[in-house]
């Protein structure tokens, strides 16, 4: 890889990655291997071992041993913080390498991935501070005969199953917090995007994390992932992915050791735009909110709920902005939307676009697969005249497809926004503080943006207002939920 060149290109040969147990990279050996093809370039880019459930058992055992002998959980918060700060430096030093492999496996634009990996540095730094400020509570109101002390203890071995849409970011929204509080980890990345999760193992070891505290088992969901959810020696599991798999995880946890769960699942998030908003800003935000990561984002603003008086004018503004989004080679610095990450996702999105047309919505932009000579790309797409009963209004498409739905009154806007089984995130655009506060209080969403979208930082926890969206929290999620 030559990241100093002005224009990056895919590797001549795919790079072999191993999996990571007890501080060691383990090559595939006799195991089967996944060969990942870049969804943008149609060439093989990485190869990773298809681990077995025996490999998972070895990783859980390493994590359990590391936890039980207190090589990490027994350190002071200050010592743990020192390792996390060094890891932050390590990520910064290898940012270009992480970004390069992530672009190739995921099809995301390089400029975007650099930003995401930079954000991960901040999460490690923030978690380092939290490691030092963890504390319990005391109860001195129980009468003279009794005094209560509550300590916060690490839960033990934490499994982390991640998806392909933000492989490194979603991992780093969890790992530093889980480590800050003294736990051990077994991570299972998506089989499509595993490289950066393995690279993090090297970075953590170099930063001084004791062997066995962070382990990575690469493999398929139905084998390694399912076995992790069923494992009797995994104390907690963080899962980010589809609602369907989330259900399987809940069932597996219930059928095994009732492990504690953190789930982040689907979304069908509203962008509510009032006529009194700064329309230029709002149009930028709406275009960004659905275009970012090609709409493959659980908090994408997929439903534009816009005041009827400005609906046509505003839809036109958004259309104009979305038509200027540059879609193409994710290794190109100027690309804003790259490839659709998986073949299955590509088929799903194109299926919803066809369904939207069949159901009578009006296609005003895009709707096509874009032919770039190689790879799979979908044009930013907008549907108007969308009825609340249509599939494109109700179901998570997970692609760059915006459904426009007008409203007449504030109550109607809230009703349309809440007419979803999800309830993950929402945005409102207005200059009127009363409207903004009313909407944020009455629309069910775990995360709300006013006059912005998809913004945040490690300081901000997020939640979900419905179980279908998942009960997991990012950021401080681990520290709030992971301690017994
Ligand atoms: O997800 P899966 P898929 C949504 C999005 C997308 C749909 C399907 O709508 O179209 O889900 O994506 C692992 N036990 N999101 O099929 O299968 C799998 O290996 C344990 C939203 O890719 O849920 C991967 O590591 N694990 C989402 C992870 O689960 C299992 C992000 C996610 O894969 C498993 C991604 C099993 N039985 C998709 N089966 C978000 N919230 O951002 C699979 N896995």
C-beta 105 within 6 A of ligand 1:
no
Cβ-in-10-Å burial (0-12, 13-18, 19+) of 334 comes to: exposed
Q: Which atom of ligand 1 is nearest to the CA of 170?
A: 42
C-beta 468 within 6 A of ligand 1:
no
Question: Cβ(240)–Cβ(159) under 8 Å?
Answer: no
Alpha carbon distance 222, 44 (integer Å): 23
Q: According to CATH, where is 3.40.309.10 located in the chain? A: 270-482
Look at ligand 1, atom 11, and give the residue with the nearest C-alpha: 242
C-beta 229 within 6 A of ligand 1:
yes
Q: According to CATH, where is 3.40.605.10 located in the chain? A: 15-264
Using most ligand atoms within 8 A of CB, pick from 219, 221, 247, 263 the residue to mutate for ligand 1: 221
Look at ligand 1, atom 7, and give the residue with the nearest C-alpha: 242
Q: What is the whole-number distance in angstroms between the Cα of residue 242 and the centre of ligand 1?
A: 4
Residue from 245, 246, 175, 181 nearest 215 by CA: 175
Distances (CA, A) of 459 to 377, 474, 475: 34, 10, 7
- What torsion, rounded to 10 degrees, do the Cα atoms 383, 273, 413, 409 define? -120
Q: Which atom of ligand 1 is nearest to the CA of 161?
A: 25
The contacts found for 135-139 with CB under 8 angstroms, 24 or more apart, are: none
Alpha carbon distance 360, 218 (integer Å): 43
Cβ-in-10-Å burial (0-12, 13-18, 19+) of 193 comes to: buried
3-state secondary structure of 46: strand
Q: What is the whole-number distance in angstroms between the Cα of residue 246 and the centre of ligand 1?
A: 8
Look at ligand 1, atom 20, and give the residue with the nearest C-alpha: 225
Q: What is the DSSP letter of 12?
A: S
Look at ligand 1, atom 42, and give the residue with the nearest C-alpha: 298
Q: In the beta sheet, which residues pair with residue 397? A: none
- Give one word for 423, left, alpha or beta, with left for phi > 0 and alpha for psi -120 to 50: left
Look at ligand 1, atom 16, and give the residue with the nearest C-alpha: 242
Which residue ranges of the chain lie beneath pLDDT 70?
1-6, 462-484
What does the pLDDT look like over 275-323, one tens digit per residue?
999 999 999 999 999 999 999 999 999 999 999 999 999 999 999 999 9
Alpha carbon distance 252, 240 (integer Å): 15
Q: What is the whole-number distance in angstroms between the Cα of residue 399 and the centre of ligand 1?
A: 15
Q: Which atom of ligand 1 is nearest to the CA of 226?
A: 14
Furthest CA-CA distance within the chain: 79
Structure tokens at 36: 């990942």
Cβ-in-10-Å burial (0-12, 13-18, 19+) of 355 comes to: middle
C-beta 294 within 6 A of ligand 1:
no
C-beta 245 within 6 A of ligand 1:
yes
C-beta 106 within 6 A of ligand 1:
no
Using most ligand atoms within 8 A of CB, pick from 36, 105, 198, 242 the residue to mutate for ligand 1: 242
Q: What is the whole-number distance in angstroms between the Cα of residue 200 and the centre of ligand 1?
A: 21
Question: Cβ(416)–Cβ(394) under 8 Å?
Answer: no
Q: What is the whole-number distance in angstroms between the Cα of residue 183 and the centre of ligand 1?
A: 24
The confidence score (pLDDT) of residue 251 equals: 97
The per-residue b/e assignment along 213-250, b for 16 or more CB within 10 angstroms, e otherwise, is bbbbbbbebebbbbbbbbbebbbbbbbbbbbebbebbb
Question: Cβ(301)–Cβ(267) under 8 Å?
Answer: no
C-beta 169 within 6 A of ligand 1:
no
Pairing of strands 148-150, 137-139: antiparallel
Q: What is the whole-number distance in angstroms between the Cα of residue 319 and the centre of ligand 1?
A: 31
- Give one word for 184, left, alpha or beta, with left for phi > 0 and alpha for psi -120 to 50: beta
Please state the separation of Cα 160 from the chain's center in Å.
12
Q: What is the whole-number distance in angstroms between the Cα of residue 240 and the centre of ligand 1?
A: 7
Look at ligand 1, atom 4, and give the residue with the nearest C-alpha: 242
C-beta 197 within 6 A of ligand 1:
no
C-beta 299 within 6 A of ligand 1:
no
Cα angle 156, 162, 167 (rounded to 5 degrees) comes to: 125
C-beta 398 within 6 A of ligand 1:
yes
CATH topology of domain 15-264: Aldehyde Dehydrogenase; Chain A, domain 1 (3.40.605)
C-beta 396 within 6 A of ligand 1:
yes
Q: What is the whole-number distance in angstroms between the Cα of residue 237 and the centre of ligand 1?
A: 14
Q: What is the pTM of this model?
A: 0.95
Sign of CA dihedral 81, 87, 88, 90: positive
Using most ligand atoms within 8 A of CB, pick from 108, 245, 392 the residue to mutate for ligand 1: 245
Structure tokens at 416: 């349309």
Look at ligand 1, atom 28, and give the residue with the nearest C-alpha: 163
Structure tokens at 342: 């998986």
Write down the H helix ranges in 107-239. Answer: 110-133, 167-172, 175-180, 195-206, 226-230
**Residue ranges of E strands in 14-88:** 15-16, 19-21, 24-26, 33-37, 44-49
Q: In the beta sheet, which residues pair with residue 239? A: 161, 263
C-beta 406 within 6 A of ligand 1:
no
Catalytic residues: 264, 298
What does the pLDDT look like over 135-181, one tens digit per residue?
999 999 999 999 999 999 999 999 999 999 999 999 999 999 999 99
Q: Which CATH number fits domain 270-482: 3.40.605.10, 3.40.50.620, 3.40.50.300, 3.40.309.10?
A: 3.40.309.10
Alpha carbon distance 247, 149 (integer Å): 37
The confidence score (pLDDT) of residue 6 equals: 61
Alpha carbon distance 84, 441 (integer Å): 37
Q: In the beta sheet, which residues pair with residue 272? A: 305, 428
Alpha carbon distance 397, 355 (integer Å): 11
């Amino acid at each position: 890889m030559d990241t100093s060149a002005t224009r990056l290109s895919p590797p001549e040969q795919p790079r072999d990655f191993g999996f990571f147990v007890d501080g060691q990279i383990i090559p595939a050996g006799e195991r089967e291997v996944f060969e990942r093809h870049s969804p943008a370039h149609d060439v093989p880019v990485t190869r990773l071992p298809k681990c077995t459930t025996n490999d998972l058992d070895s990783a859980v055992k390493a994590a359990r041993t590391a936890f039980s002998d207190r090589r990490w959980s027994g350190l002071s918060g200050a010592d743990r913080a020192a390792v996390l700060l060094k890891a932050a430096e390590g990520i910064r030093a290898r940012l270009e390498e992480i970004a390069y492999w992530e672009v190739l496996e995921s099809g995301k634009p390089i400029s975007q991935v650099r930003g995401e990996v930079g954000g991960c540095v901040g999460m490690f730094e923030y978690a380092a501070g939290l490691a030092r400020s963890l504390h319990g509570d005391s109860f001195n109101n129980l009468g003279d005969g009794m005094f209560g002390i509550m300590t916060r203890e690490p839960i033990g071995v934490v499994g982390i199953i991640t998806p392909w849409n933000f492989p490194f970011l979603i991992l780093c929204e969890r790992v530093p917090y889980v480590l800050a509080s003294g736990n051990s980890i077994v991570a299972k990345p998506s089989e499509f995007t595993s490289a950066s999760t393995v690279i993090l193992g090297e970075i953590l070891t170099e930063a001084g994390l004791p062997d066995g505290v962070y382990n990575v088992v690469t493999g398929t969901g139905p084998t390694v992932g399912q076995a992790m959810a069923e494992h009797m020696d995994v104390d907690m599991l963080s899962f980010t992915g589809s609602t369907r798999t989330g259900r399987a995880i809940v069932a597996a946890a219930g059928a095994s050791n009732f492990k504690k769960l953190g789930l982040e699942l689907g979304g069908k998030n509203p962008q509510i735009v009032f006529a009194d908003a700064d329309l230029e800003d709002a149009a930028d935000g709406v275009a960004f909110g659905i275009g970012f990561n090609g709409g493959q984002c659980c908090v994408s603003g997929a439903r534009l709920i816009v005041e009827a008086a400005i609906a046509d004018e505003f839809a036109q503004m958004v259309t104009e902005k979305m038509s200027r989004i540059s879609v193409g080679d994710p290794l190109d610095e100027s690309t804003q939307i790259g490839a659709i990450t998986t073949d299955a996702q590509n088929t799903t999105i194109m299926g919803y676009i066809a369904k939207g047309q069949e159901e009578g919505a009006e296609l005003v932009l895009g709707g096509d697969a874009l032919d770039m000579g190689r790879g799979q790309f979908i044009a930013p797409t907008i549907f108007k005249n969308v009825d609340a009963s249509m599939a494109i209004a109700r179901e998570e498409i997970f692609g760059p497809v915006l459904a426009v739905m007008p409203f007449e009154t504030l109550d109607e806007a809230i009703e349309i926004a809440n007419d979803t089984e999800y309830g993950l995130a929402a945005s409102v655009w207005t200059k009127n503080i009363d409207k903004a506060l009313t909407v944020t209080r009455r629309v069910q969403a775990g995360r709300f943006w006013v006059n912005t979208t998809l913004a945040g930082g490690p300081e901000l926890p997020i939640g979900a207002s419905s179980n279908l969206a998942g009960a997991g929290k990012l950021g401080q999620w681990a520290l709030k939920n992971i301690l017994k």
